[in-house]
Amino acid sequence: METSEHKIEGLPTYLLIYGLLMALLVATVVAATFDLGQWNVVIALTIAVLKALLVILFFMHVRHSSRLTWIFVAAAFVWLGLLLGLTLTDYTTRDQPTPNSAAQIAVVDNGGHR
Amino acid sequence: MSDLVAHQFDDLEQQTEAGTLGMWTFLATEVLFFGGMICGYTIYRHLYFPAWHQGSLIVDNLRWFGISSGAWNTAVLLTSSLTVALGVRAAKLGRNRTLLRMLVATLLLGIAFLGIKAAEYTHEYYEGVMPCRGVFHPDDEISSNLQHTAGEQQINQSFLLHEFQLFWVFYFFMTGVHALHMVIGIGLFTYLLIEARRGRYTPQKHAQVEVMGLYWHFVDLVWIFLFPLLYLVR
C-alpha cells in the first residue's frame, strides 16, 4: 500500500487551491463590471478555464493519476474541441448574418407566415 | 486483504484504477452532453445577440448584498468541492469522523445551491420570462427594453421577442439539467453518508467515495462554465 500513500495531497494544498478558486471567482465578477467589449468574453472564459484546470488537476486528482487516466480525460476534451471548433468554424465563416437577415431567412423558412 | 479485491483484478491498485477510468468514461460522455448545449448556446448568442443580451441582464439582476445570485451559487459550489476533496482525503487516511462531517457539509451546500436556484426560478417566473405557453409574459419594463432594442437595432419586434424567448429555453434547459445532476449528486452523497456511518470505508476500501467525489467535482465544473456564459457575458 506504500504506492498509494504518497498520492494523498496535504491539507494546505487543498486550502490553497480553494483560495485560488475563490480569488478567480472575485476576479471574474469584478471584470464583468467593466465594459471591455469583446474582451469581456475572453476574460470570463479564460478565468473559467483556469478554474476548471485547478479543479481537474487538484480536486479530481488527475495530477497524480496514471497516464491511462490522462488519456481518458484528454479524449473528453479533444472531442469537445472538435464539436465546438468545427461547428463554430462553420458559423463564423458563413456570410455574416445580421439579426435582420436571420429574421428574413426565418420568414422564408416559414413560407412568409408570422 | 484478498476479500477487498474482486477476482477479475490482479490487485487493489488495478481495481481502483478501473473504477476511476470507468467514472471518467462516463464523465467524458457528460462533457459532450453539456458541450452540445453550450455549443448551441454559443451559436444563438452569436446570431441573436441583442435579444440574448437583454436575457442575460435579467438573469444577473437578482442580487443579495450587491452580489448576483449566480456568483453566490458559484461560491457555494466551489466550497462544496473543497469539502468533497477533504472528505475523500479523510477516507484515504481512515479518518471516519472527518469524512462524515465533510459529507454532511457537502450535502448542506448542495441543498443551499438548489435553494438559491429555486429563488432564481421564482424570480424569473414573476418576471414572466419562463418560456412556456401561457406563462411567457415579460413584464412592462422588459417589454419596453425589448421595444427599445428592436428600434435601435431595426429588428422586427416579434422576431426579437422570439429570440428573447429562445434565450430562456436555453437558460432553463442548461441550468435545469445541471440542477438535476445536483439532485442526483445529493442522492449519491446521502448513500455515502449512510455507508460511512456504518464504517464501510477504510484506507484500503473507499473507491465509492472517490468515484462519487469525481462526479460531484464534475457537476461543479459544469457550473464553472455556465456561470460566466449565462450571467456574465454581455
Tell me how far apart the alpha carbons of residues A93 and B39 are, in angstroms, rounded to a whole number. 16
pLDDT tens sequence across B34-81: 999 999 999 998 888 888 888 888 888 888 888 889 999 999 999 999
Confidence at residue B2, expressed as pLDDT on a 0 to 100 scale: 54
- B12, part of any domain: no
Spatial neighbors of A49 by CB under 8 A, at least 6 apart, are none
Average confidence (pLDDT) over B109-123: 95
pLDDT tens sequence across B194-210: 999 998 998 888 889 99
Across the interface, whether the CB atoms of B82 and A80 are under 8 A apart is answered no
- B65, part of any domain: yes
Tell me how far apart the alpha carbons of residues A44 and A51 are, in angstroms, rounded to a whole number. 11
Counting the structural domains of chain B, the total is 1
Confidence at residue A111, expressed as pLDDT on a 0 to 100 scale: 56
Across the interface, whether the CB atoms of B232 and A52 are under 8 A apart is answered no
Instruction: Indicate the average pLDDT of chain B.
Output: 90
Q: Letter for the amino acid at A38?
A: Q
Distance separating the N- and C-terminal Cα atoms of chain B: 57
CA closest to A4 among chain B residues: B13
Average confidence (pLDDT) over B225-231: 93
- Residues 138-157 of chain B with CB under 8 A from chain A are 153-156
Centre a 10 Å sphere on the Cβ of residue B101 and count the other Cβ atoms it contains.
15
Tell me how far apart the alpha carbons of residues A113 and B124 are, in angstroms, rounded to a whole number. 30
Look up residue B7 and give its three cell numbers.
Answer: 477476482
- B8, part of any domain: no
How distant, in Å, are the alpha carbons of A56, B35, B113, B141, B216 from that of B85? Answer: 11, 25, 18, 44, 10
Across the interface, whether the CB atoms of A11 and B86 are under 8 A apart is answered yes
For residue B231, give the H/E element and its range.
Answer: none
Cell numbers 449519491: residue: B188
Q: What is the pTM of this model?
A: 0.88
pLDDT exceeding 90 applies to what percent of chain B? 59
In terms of residue numbers, what domain contains B227?
29-232
Spatial neighbors of B32 by CB under 8 A, at least 6 apart, are A76, A79, A80, A83
Residues (pLDDT < 50) of chain A are 1-5, 114
- B224, part of any domain: yes
Look up residue B112 and give its three cell numbers.
Answer: 443551499
Choose among B47, B48, B45: nearest CA to B231: B45
SS3 B67: strand
Which of A16, A60, A96 has the most B C-beta neighbours within 10 Å, making it the best mutation to test the interface with B?
A: A60
Angle at B30 between CA A60 and CA B79, to 5 degrees: 40
Across the interface, whether the CB atoms of A76 and B27 are under 8 A apart is answered yes
pLDDT tens sequence across B142-173: 888 888 888 887 778 888 888 899 999 999 99
SS3 A114: coil
Across the interface, whether the CB atoms of A22 and B78 are under 8 A apart is answered yes
Domain CATH for B70: 1.20.120.80
B158 neighbourhood in chain A, CB within 8 Å? 114
